[in-house]
Chains A and B, each alone.
Chain A
């Protein structure tokens, strides 16, 4: 398999680069990672499937940030607020440094000129960012810091050296054509979560690519059962902004109110209703013109679909749906071994949604807030640690490319569109993924296992077709990890809801670690004792 074992100068790649740290992904986590790695003295290359500054969930959506002043009482409240909701799987030894690093980093963002609004006393309010503005600034900072950015250059697989450490990645250039290899002493996976191309806002680029590449290198994942996040959106639009739905009431087609339906705890009532009939929303609870104006100024993108369809969402009912956010608003991802954001694979780090967010959220999160803070803080931690690792590492030759699915030599043809639809049919339905049962999960796991076998033996396609094939493989692998973990967690905890095990089971207050591609192993991992005992819930 000589073509799978690249040596420098063999002309297999149209672009070859050598660097210290390679960052995969140009969203917030990747940008913070790149900035911290380069200020630690490393040479840094950042590759993005799309464009660093406009790609990913944050750039188009915008986000609140878990930005809490270093006041002991405020920090205590902030840390305690989601422990129960997350099923007591978070850990304060993580929350404390994440809050510290987020505070410091967001203040740097303000110093760089991010236009935070001010209140009536003239004090800047730094609890949220508008997506386009935030990510345009981050993209510019990364570029101006001297990071070499390759846009429209998706990474497709990792490469390893003769010591077993990760030594870079390969990918394609989808606009210029050709392919690339970046030889690096450390790689940071910041390629986001997986939303299964559900058309959730900005999320179609988030197909679990980073999970697949890392798992092929032997990395483990954690919290993949916490992957049943669905966002409310108008059924005719991609705008999955849920915060303002707390001012909504929900209705049936005949106009009768759906009791108990809501954007937070009442979301399961919306989901149940959607199983049998359409659901409509109206922002009834925003009664004053002052509040309506505040809502518009808080989230301009929320109003795009209504303005373009000539609908007044405050007075007219509009149809809504639930779009799968998967692990983007879920919490599962690559397992980290410590605050340096290393994975179990030497030379491989993970940050942002690409890593499990259980350390600060447990089994529940939402859009933004904690996830935004996590991207900032873990990006910074991983960037610093990867630079330190890379600068100390002795160079060793790249020996092996690690991509498997889609790279088979005896290429078998596979219809990637049909495969994508098959994955989506396994993960979108509310009566499979939102309301989980042993029967439905097992049925879908078998289908996904069959699909995986076909993906593993596929290959022989052009560069552009290989990208879609790898995306479908990553989504299939992600769905399999999700459902294996969901089958193993025979209880309801965090966002993971088992209709056949509707109670939280104190004996299962542990993380679930999954690993492997052909055969998937699941094992429990203990978490730090919570300050508030579970029994007190």
Chain B
């Protein structure tokens, strides 16, 4: 039985790792009561502000909610392509 599933999903990826990843994300969303849509909107708004000052490589931007120590953190990585001219 297990082989059926393993064959189906590929043996390398353990299902418990997938469960853990899904659960962590799920609990964060439950605690914050934010929908994926709202998070997408927040991302859009924050990027809008940053864009006024920096040119960001948006393809590589990482934007997620995660557990850091005991807290939920908004973790972002926004690779800067260049600083906008006319700043200041």
Q: Do A and B bind each other?
A: no
